[in-house]
Amino acid sequence: MLKLWILTTLLLSSCLSVFIVKAAPLDQHSFANIDAVYTNKLSLDLTVDFDKQQLHGFAEHELTRKDPKVSQLILDSRALVIEKVLQADSKGQWRTAAFALGAVDAIKGQPLTITLSPASSKVRVYYRTTAESSGLQWLNAAQTSEKQQPFLFSQSQAIHARSWIPLQDTPALRVSYQARIRTPTQLLAVMSADNSKNTERDGDYQFVMPQPIPAYLIAIAVGDLHFQPMSAHTGIYAEKTWLAKAAAEFSDTQKMMDVASKLYGEYPWGRYDLLILPASFPFGGMENPRLSFITPTVITGDKSLVSLIAHELAHSWSGNLVTNSNWNDLWLNEGFTNFFENRLMAEVYGPARAAMEYSLSVKDLQRDIAELEPADTALQLQLAGRDPDDAFSQVAYVKGQLLLQLLENKFGREKFDAFISAYFQKFAFQSMDTQTFLQFLQQQLLEKYPGVVSMTEVLQWVFGPGLPAGFPMQHSDAFALVSKQLQAWQQHEITLAALPTITWTVHEWLHFINQLPRDLAPAKLAELDAAFALSQSSNAEIFVAWSRLTIPLNYLPVMPQVKQFLLHVGRTKFVVPLYRLLLENSAQQGFAKEIYQQAKPGYHPLTQAQIDKAFAG
Ligand code: BES
Ligand code: ZN
């Protein structure tokens, strides 16, 4: 119904050339009453207690009232113990404020309602986190790379910031923040903020993030971290094991930054550093501003997976500067970022590599679309009543990217670059929803150059299911050659030894493995493994692609390696499909259970939740 309404509104208004401006849709994943009163500045004062695996201290909110009569401030919270709440009166005197935690909602957590006195402009919430705080992972020393010191990190996107800070947890709102963090003296704390490189390691750290950011970008990590610069504006934070390797792997980061700034406007955040996390980090990367969080599984020694850095860096514009205002509109973050990432890869590593990565992404999207409900394959998601963690797929990423690629192809690079730059500039430090984007697109591109692409076509991409026919492809000569050679092997025209694999990049390997028939005979799998040691690959992408082929075929030699991988790595994108495939193979269900029992304590709460769902069927 709503969709129909939007569609007719857009169609009508595109006919009339007048756009009906509508209030931004509400964020269905937040209790916060930001329309009446909102935080504009947040100050944290937290102690990191590794013995209790707990953060405790206070969050101070500087408030702006939109409704002068507002008498309540509603914050989001999840699994927090609220100890007391104070509010400052007009003279700056702190007094107790009444508060109540509402009923638990399985997805959103609990509203924390604070009674405001008429003049109060600041509120301080004293609290501590609990074992159920889903946005934090506490690792003991044995679970880290160096195995000497414990480690803590946060992952707030999409709605987990509320599990370690009581705040208005919606991307429709931006706050600037500062923090004082106390840790054991031998450890270093870092945040998505100004990380002074010369900070004395004394267990007492101060941070400032002067630019306003959405709550999901507030981030912290504490561990035996060290810093190594890569260039004037980029560097690595990591445990010692990774420091030099990461600096070598990601040495092109400055180049990427320079190219990105030239394309879409000056880098808006000062420094860009990378934090290398333990292998349990649940994502490939997370674009926390000034300090992207990165999985160590992309440190391969050959820069083969650095598109992840291009991706997280691109978020400095698409996502961090212009932010999806609610989680239905995730494609505005991820689709733009995938598009931007591919553009950066083409500029820094050449169009041939970018075309291979593009083609692999399209394959991933097609695989996801085949498995998803059609309703979940529209660009704008319908997440009402659902956990945003459960609905993420390649649709927001790659279908979003393809729509933008289509527009670039049709309007030409020059016009489309200018359009994107204007978009980032006009909406910098603001939140964006699909409706507003479409309006901007209509005015700044479709109507400016009429007859090139119609709004109807765009709406089909945004609200319609599946992948529209005629989606843009990038041709890869390298992949075409691999496909041809693979065919020749299958038709017994050549042997495996005759394949020019010595020159293959990781991408060509991935294409090769993905193209292999899904019903290969055990002897063929063994032949491939004997020739190329695919079961032993130390490249996580190659290993997982090979496992996706071989687990359903119950190819036993891969199983011990699968176990090792699952015990070591916690990146959800890899481990969830592997568990699913093991469970779908009736001969390996017991094996899957046995591995999970052993591996579970090392996984992030988000990863555990996803695997638990796979086990529940
Ligand atoms: N922002 C995302 C990670 C994310 C998305 C976390 C939604 C929680 C909810 C990050 O930028 C990302 O997309 N990471 C990808 C890497 C990428 C190259 C596609 C990942 O982790 O695999
Ligand atoms: Zn992303």
pLDDT digits (tens, 9 = 90+) for 533-570: 999 999 999 999 999 999 999 999 999 999 999 999 99
pLDDT given for residue 13 in this prediction: 44
Q: What is the mean pLDDT of residues 351-356?
A: 98
Pocket of ligand 1 (CB under 6 A): 157-158, 283-287, 308, 311-312, 315, 334, 392, 397, 573
The identity of residue 315, as a single letter, is H
Q: Are 547 and 553 in contact (CB under 8 A)?
A: no
Q: Tell me what the mean pLDDT of segment 115-128 comes to.
A: 96
Average pLDDT of the chain is: 95
For residue 199, is pLDDT > 90? no
Domains annotated on the chain, with CATH = 31-133+154-223 (2.60.40.1730), 225-316 (3.30.2010.30), 322-463 (1.10.390.10), 516-616 (1.25.40.320)
The pLDDT of residue 19 is 39
| Probe target for ligand 1 pocket from 311, 317, 339, with the most ligand atoms within 8 Å of CB | 311
- Please state whether the peptide bond connecting residue 189 to the residue before it is cis, i.e. omega within 30 degrees of 0: no
Please write the tens of the pLDDT for every residue from 235-245: 999 999 999 99
User: How far is Cα 222 from Cα 200, in angstroms, rounded to an integer?
Assistant: 14
Question: What six digits make up the tokens of 276?
Answer: 């290398």
Q: Is 177 one of the annotated active-site residues of the chain?
A: no
Q: How many residues does the chain have?
A: 617
Amino acid at the residue 390? D
Instruction: Say yes or no to pLDDT of 385 above 70.
Output: yes
Nearest by Cα to 539 from 584, 508, 518: 508
Percent above pLDDT 70 for the chain: 96
Specify whether the CB–CB gap between 152 and 136 falls below 8 A: yes
Is 507 annotated for ligand binding? no
Q: Per-residue pLDDT for 392 more than 90?
A: no
Write down the catalytic residue from 60, 312, 341, 508: 312
Do residues 582 and 551 make contact, with C-beta atoms less than 8 angstroms apart? yes
Share of the chain above pLDDT 90, in %: 93
pTM (2 decimals)? 0.96
Q: Which long-range contacts (CB under 8 A, 24 or more apart) does 407-412 make?
A: 407/441, 407/445, 407/453, 408/339, 409/472, 410/452, 410/453, 411/445, 411/449, 411/452, 411/453
Report how far apart the first and last C-alpha atoms of the chain are (Å, whole number): 31
Of 24-33, 129-138, 188-197, 312-321, give the lowest mean pLDDT range.
24-33
Q: Active-site residue 264, yes or no? A: no
What pLDDT shows up at residue 12? 40
Mean pLDDT of 477-488: 98
pLDDT of 204 higher than 90 = yes
- Cα(315) to centroid(ligand 2), Å: 7
Q: In angstroms, what is the span from residue 395 Cα to ligand 1's centroid?
A: 13
At 169-183, the pLDDT tens digits run 999 999 999 999 999
Q: pLDDT tens for residues 216-242?
A: 999 999 999 999 999 999 999 999 999
Tell me the CA distances in angstroms from 297 to 205, 286, 541, one per residue in order. 29, 14, 9
pLDDT digits (tens, 9 = 90+) for 581-614: 999 999 999 999 999 999 999 999 999 999 999 9
Q: Give the pLDDT mean for 484-510.
A: 97
Q: Which atom of ligand 1 is nearest to the CA of 311?
A: 18
Residue 23 predicted with pLDDT over 90: no
Can you give the pLDDT at residue 513? 98
pLDDT value of position 250? 99
**Residue 3: predicted pLDDT:** 47
Name the token pair of 481. Answer: 């050659």
Whether pLDDT at 68 is above 80: yes
